[in-house]
A and B are shown apart, each in its own frame.
Chain A
Amino acid sequence: MGSRRRRSRRAYGIGVALLLSAALSAGCASDPAEPPPAGGGRPPGDGGGRRITLTVGVFGTFGLQEAGLYDTYMRLHPDIAVRQTSLTRNDVYYPQLLTHLTAGSGLADVQAVEVGNIAEVLATQADRLVDLGTVPGVDRRAFLPWKWAQGTGRDGRTLALGTDIGPQALCYRKDLFARAGLPTERGAVGRLWAGDWRAYLTAGLRYRERVPDGPAFTDSAAGVMAAVTASAPVRFYDARGALVVADNPAVREAWDLAAAFARHGLTARLQQFTPGWDQAFANGSFATVACPAWMLGYIQDKAGPAGRGRWDVAAAPRPGSWGGSFLVVPAAGRHRAEAARLAAWLTAPAQQARLFARRGSFPSASAAYPLPAVADARHPYFGDAPVGALFAAAARGVPRAPTGPKDALIAQTLADTGMLQIDQTGRDPDEAWRATMKTLDNALDR
């Protein structure tokens, strides 16, 4: 699951996405075998042997299907069939979700929403969504408080249930660290930069000094920028919902720190989630990368067997969350009650733990952390790192940063306009900042 960046930016091509969107609309049509809707939410399994089909609309490889959760649900509820429709990219999925919500048609019974879009969905679509906070089986105390708050509107209704989150660590190459005379044991590496992102820069400078011609210290300035802002208590919006991205010192500090990585030549000057970045994993072009929980699978996938035993994972300087998703139930659905129960079950601690064990998506339900599937989880590819305990500690420390309607757009502009200009075209950070703010103003129509 994870971030919009990870999923939305895989370039499988818009053609494929559009084809799939046609499939999505088709998939939302009711099952021909389905009975006409009984008045109101009729309880399932009313003895008639009639089967209800629930659809789940997601983007990317969400993992729910792959982890076998739908199959289990159907086994537990023989009167319900679950089908999934998927779009590869969130930037195709999200506008479509908005149009379907406003039109009240073409919707799946349960729809996924990325964390960067959740505030906008709550602010503009609240009357088109079902309150999930009161659904039987939903326990707010099971969730991390900040995640629960992100899915709750101003009127106190919880319209979105959290699936995964992206607690952060730093992944590093042991062999390259050894070459640079840096510690290689994950506890010592974590202590190297504990508490302060500037210590991460210091470690980078030390690394560069020892291996001036070796692989870069980190992949990209944009990656550093995203990781640092993810750990800030205030990011792009303040607690009252005002846009503060241009005046927030935390954003500017993250900007300057990330720019320093670029200017000291510590980055491989890559753009994340592009083919070049993927190739760089395989070619070992950098020694560290900001590592939300969902990134582990990505690294394993791209670095391949050659990276086994080389990569390891250590605690990040400060805890933060990068990425994550929610499930919502549109009010226009024909089986709202059944859909709400499915969403509640899919986001319950036991299922989230199973999703973590099978797919590496880290639970947003803190009640899942003591479960053995999380607490005892170790990652063989990363030197048997205790990823469950590591990410659980990070998740508990994530600051409760306010989310805003344009979070996704702002994060993407900072990365793809600002950091890319500094990192890849060598533009002066102040100039790039002005250009980025101008782009943002235009995008936000200010």
Chain B
Amino acid sequence: MTETRATAEAARRPAPEDPARPAGPLPPLRPRRARPPRRGRRQGAGPFLLLAPFLLLFTAFGVFPLVAAAWTSFHRVELTAPGRAEWVGLRNYTRLLDDGFFWKALLNTLTIGVLATVPQLLLALGVAHLLHARLRGRQFFRVVALAPYATSVAAATLVFALFFGRDHGMANWALGVVGLDPVDWQNGPWASRFAVASIVVWRWTGYNALIYLAALGTVPRELYEAAALDGASRWRQFLHVTLPGIRPALGFTALVSTIGAVQLFGEPLLYASGAGASGGANHQFQTLGLYLYEQGWVNLHLGRAAAIAWAMLLILVAALGLARLIRKAAA
């Protein structure tokens, strides 16, 4: 087994060495007897050796925190004494079931997630379509599209918080110009969620647009020409050529946006500029990430925070599994 694979490899290897070599009988192959016989087993370990740095880091910063969080979630642990843990079994999880704040945070995460993800991806598609067209200064517009993504969450959110100010904000000023009543963007349950979602949309639209743009470049021109010959309108071309053509990109952005939506944290935290992690007076825009932070680092209950973290992971896995099922059923 080992022998044949070695021969085949050796046969393949010299070929590209000299493309100018005249075609003719290959020189006789010399089996590599010099190699120790335990080579096959070594080859099995080799990839892992190469991967070792990553695996080490992954264990230290990926697996270990996950396991430690799971362990913590079964205990009552306070940040005032992280070393003293009291076993409470599933209590941290069962209490989430009748924790109104948790459910509210979950609902907020879902609504803000939908409010942010759907317009974000649709807008990104539109922007990508515009950028794909042959327009002057394409590079410039691409950079412009990506600029919000390069801005820090903190800076963007603080500016948006000013923009959505109740008394002196630009949003309400603009509403006033067209004769509408001012909106309380901080306390209105839907207004505040919309405001938080708008920050997410602003930051991530360009990022997704660039991914779509790259995908658009891979759709063969001939398909459009064929569709045009068949008399398909631009809209039908978009539906039947473009969308199927960039399906992998659509799936990728949907996945990344979903993960981002579940983890949403910085925007709602900083949007409630003074209120810390409560997400508004009535917790109206407190997301799961924010609730986790509040339990862990404001209320100092590490065990409960760890349980929320694991619950978030399970929710994410369930959501992605559900999406997969739906896709399979649709196919």
Whole-angstrom distance between the alpha carbons of A356 and B266 in the complex? 36
Select from chain A the residue with minimum beta-carbon distance to B293: A14
Query: Quick check: B166 and A13 within 8 Å, CB to CB?
Result: no
Residue on A nearest B80 in the bound complex, by CB? A124
Say whether A445 faces chain B, with CB atoms less than 8 Å apart. Answer: yes
Residues of A within 8 A of B111 (CB): none
Instruction: Check A424 against B158 for contact (C-beta < 8 Å).
Output: no
Q: Is the CB of B266 within 8 A of A14?
A: yes
CB pair B81–A421 under 8 Å, yes or no, is no
Question: In the complex, what residue of chain B is closest to A421 when comparing beta carbons?
Answer: B281
Nearest-Cβ distance from residue A402 to partner chain B, whole angstroms:
19
Contact B282 A421 (CB under 8 A): yes
- The size bracket of the interface on B is 35 or more
CB of A425 within 8 A of CB of B300, answer no
User: Which chain B residues border A277 with CB–CB below 8 Å?
Assistant: 274
Chain A residues whose C-beta falls within 8 Å of the C-beta of B168 in the assembled complex? 276, 279, 283
Q: Is the CB of A276 within 8 A of B165?
A: yes
User: Are B154 and A416 in contact, CB atoms less than 8 angstroms apart?
Assistant: no
In the complex, which residue of chain B has the Cβ closest to the Cβ of A283? B168
Q: Nearest-CB distance from B50 to chain A (Å)?
A: 31
Contact call A425/B282, Cβ cutoff below 8 A: yes
Find out whether the CB atom of B154 lies under 8 angstroms from the CB atom of A16: yes
Shortest beta-carbon distance from A100 to chain B in Å: 11
B225 to chain A, nearest CB (A): 49
Bound-state CA distance A285–B82 (Å) is: 46
Q: Which of A274, A424, A438 contacts B187 (CB 8 A)?
A: A424
Contacts of B37 in A (CB 8 A): none
Contacting pair B154 A276 (CB below 8 A): no
- Residues in A whose Cβ lies below 8 Å from that of B300: 95, 98
Contact A424 B79 (CB under 8 A): no
Q: Which residue of B lies closest to A277 (CB)?
A: B274
Are A13 and B276 in contact, with the CB atoms below 8 A?
Answer: no
A99 neighbours in B (Cβ, 8 Å): 79, 82
A285 lies within 8 A of B297 (CB): no
Q: Known contacts being A95-B300, A417-B281, A421-B281, is A275 close to B276, with CB within 8 Å?
A: no
Identity of the chain B residue whose Cβ is nearest the Cβ of A123 in the assembled complex: B80
* A435, B278: Cα distance in complex, Å: 13
- Asked if B155 contacts A9 (CB within 8 A), the reply is no
Judge whether A125 is part of the interface by a CB distance below 8 angstroms. Answer: yes
- Given the known A-B contacts A274-B273, A420-B281, A424-B187, are A98 and B80 also in contact in the complex, defined by CB atoms under 8 Å? yes
Q: Which residue of B lies closest to A11 (CB)?
A: B273
Chain A neighbourhood of B301, CB < 8 A: 445
Whether, in the assembled complex, B101 has its beta carbon less than 8 Å from a beta carbon of chain A, the answer is: yes
Residues of A within 8 A of B298 (CB): 91, 409, 443
CB-CB under 8 A from A120, the residues of chain B are 80
Q: Which residues of A contact B (CB under 8 A)?
A: 8-9, 11-16, 91, 95, 98-99, 102, 120, 124-125, 269-277, 279-280, 283, 285, 409, 412-413, 416-417, 420-421, 424-425, 435, 438-439, 442-445
Which residues of B line the A interface, CB within 8 A?
79-83, 99-101, 152-155, 157-158, 161-162, 165-168, 184, 186-187, 266, 269-270, 273-276, 278, 281-283, 294, 297-301, 304
29 A–B contacts from the bound complex (CB under 8 Å): A14-B154, A14-B266, A14-B269, A15-B266, A95-B297, A95-B300, A98-B79, A98-B80, A99-B79, A102-B80, A102-B82, A102-B83, A270-B167, A271-B186, A275-B161, A275-B162, A276-B166, A276-B167, A276-B168, A279-B165, A409-B299, A412-B276, A416-B281, A417-B278, A417-B282, A420-B187, A439-B101, A442-B101, A445-B304
